[in-house]
Structures are given as C-alpha cells and as structure tokens.
Amino acid sequence: MVAQQTWIDYLKPYADRVETDAYGNAIALLHPEGSPKILLAAHIDEIGFQVQYVDERGFVYFTTVGGSDPLLARGQRVRIHHEGEAVLGVIGSLAIHLQEREGKQDPPKWHELFIDIGAQSQQEALERVSVGDLITYDSGFAPLHGDLWVGRACDDRVGAFVVAEAFRKAALQREKLQASVVAASTIQEENGLFGAAMVGYSTHPDAALVVDVGHATDIPIADKKRQGDVQLGKGPILSRGSVNHPLLVRRLAEVAHAHGIAYQQGIDPRRSGTDADAIFLQRGGIPTAALGIPNRYMHSPVEVVHLQDLETLAEWLSLFLADLPRDERFRRQG
C-alpha cells in the first residue's frame, strides 16, 4: 500500500525501530526503555468496494468495503486495483432524460450498480480485472480555499499524519521524554477495527490515544441538536464517555489548558466508532481516549478538513507525551 509505505518512510529517520506485522499494520518505536508505554494509533485504510462479478458484456458488479452511501455512487469515476495497475472505470448512471421520476425515488441497491471499464465482453474485462480486486473512488487531495483541503480518505489518513507528526515532534525532544512511544498506522478499521485489535494486543501499551476524524456539523444540512456543534478550524475533538478513560481525558484537557490549545468537546455515549473500541478491550483493559479531527462529508469522495486542526492535534499530543511523569499508569482508585 502506497499510503502505508509513505507513513513508514516519514517516521524512519526519527524512530528507534519501524516494523510491520503479518497483516500490514505499521509500528514505529521511540524511547523503548521509557515508561509508561503510550500507543498513538490511527488507521490508514479507506472505504471502498470489491469486485464481485463480471457479466457477459464486461460490466463489473461490486460490493462495499466499509460504509459507503449508494446515493453518492452513480456517475463517479473509480479505480480498480489489479496487479499493480489502477484500471479506470465509471459507475453507470442512466441519463436523466431516460428516467421515470414519478413519486419518491428510492436509493439504488448496491447489486444494481455496475462499473463500466470500456470492455466489450466478459473475457476482455477479465484480462484487466479480477473478482476480488479492490476499488476506490478516483479523487485526489486538493486545496479548497485557504487551509481547507478536500479529498477522499481524509478518514483517516489525516489521522495517520497527525500520529506520525506527534511522534516526530516527540523524537525531537527525546531528552525530556520519560515515556516510551509506539506509533501505529493500522489496517482494516473500516471493515471491523481488525488492525487495531492486533496492535492493541501485540504492543501491550499502558495507555492509548486514538486519532480519527469526527463529524463537522458546520454545514446547513446538519442538525446540531442531534449531532452536536463541531466546526472546522476550531480545534480537534476530545470526547467523553464509553471507551474514553476519565483520567486520560482529564490529563489531556489539563495539558491543553496549560498550553492554550483550543479543542472542541464531543461525546461517545455508547461507542466511539473508532479503533479505540477495539484497543481499550485488550489485555484486561487499556486506558484509551479517542481524539477527532473535524471532517465535513465523511465517507464521501469530497471530505473536507482544516489543516490547522491537524497541526494543533499533533502539537497537543507531543506536549502530552512530554508532560507525562515516569511510570504513570492512569489507574482509577477504589
């Protein structure tokens, strides 16, 4: 995976060791003799699709990997990833002139959608793609305006960047660091939090900070009474409830207040919907906190983030690491 290799290459100059496991999680280690051991984790995978069937005319049918919206799919360009090549295709859409639009229009079923790669037959299509090939939207990362950027897979490659940047900043202040730092770029979050479960078990941290995106609700179609008030450029999100360990959340808030770091408040009443849900369960319970980067239009090809929120969170995490006393364990008393 190109994104994973980019993450590894970014951290190699600062890490004592960088390694990958059997399924492709990437792990960087800093100050391994330190204590406590703090895991910084974010996932590198993205939502997408997988080839399921190619019909006799060469049209490609597919299923979802992660939570995609079928209303967004029609008319989109995609890339089918086949043996190192990225085959261009388009998800077919019937011209509006040919549609019957009486009454309410139901969203399409995924099995009704197909990808046109320009093939004339099943045989021709199967020379270029195979059942099982993965598919992504064909949209890049680009400036929208000022510090706002738009692209697919901000969920959660911006989080993977924040983890890497916090690790780099911590490495530059190694002489002050009491903690051992483990940075992880995890796989398969979107289809089950699988990489996080592996890393939470194998690295055996004393505490974990998980970075993912959170819903920015500063758009006309969001309901703040139901979804909270989160704005781009106003700082990262610190959540309370569920997996979020209260002592860890309190320490993060104290560091933010001490250093004048702006953040926004979120809640996780039942679960966080992030890798934190898998990590905190490991080895009898790992104190864990989920931190969010505000993100508009999540799980779409046009996710929007504010670069300052990324920089702020990376700085916050590095200050948190530098502030930790030796052997802190975040254990509740009584």
Which of the residues 165, 189, 190, 328 is marked catalytic?
189
189 is catalytic: yes
- Cα within 13 Å of Cα(243), Cβ side: 23
Q: What angle do CA 120, 134, 306 make, to 5 degrees?
A: 120
**Pair 309, 158: CB distance under 8 Å:** no
Tell me the two tokens of residue 36. 């406590």
What SS3 class is residue 39?
A: strand
C-alpha 201 chain-centroid distance: 20
**Pair 171, 15: CB distance under 8 Å:** yes
- Cα within 13 Å of Cα(140), Cβ side: 2
Adjacent-strand bridge partners of 80 = 87, 135
DSSP per residue over 267-327, as a string? E-SS--SSTHHHHTTGGG---EEEEEEEEBSTTSTTEEEEHHHHHHHHHHHHHHHHHPPTT
Write the burial class of residue 223 (CB in 10 Å: 0-12 exposed, 13-18 middle, 19+ buried).
Answer: exposed
- For tokens 């995106």, name the residue: 213
How far apart are alpha carbons 14 and 306 in whole angstroms?
A: 26
* Active-site amino acid positions: 189
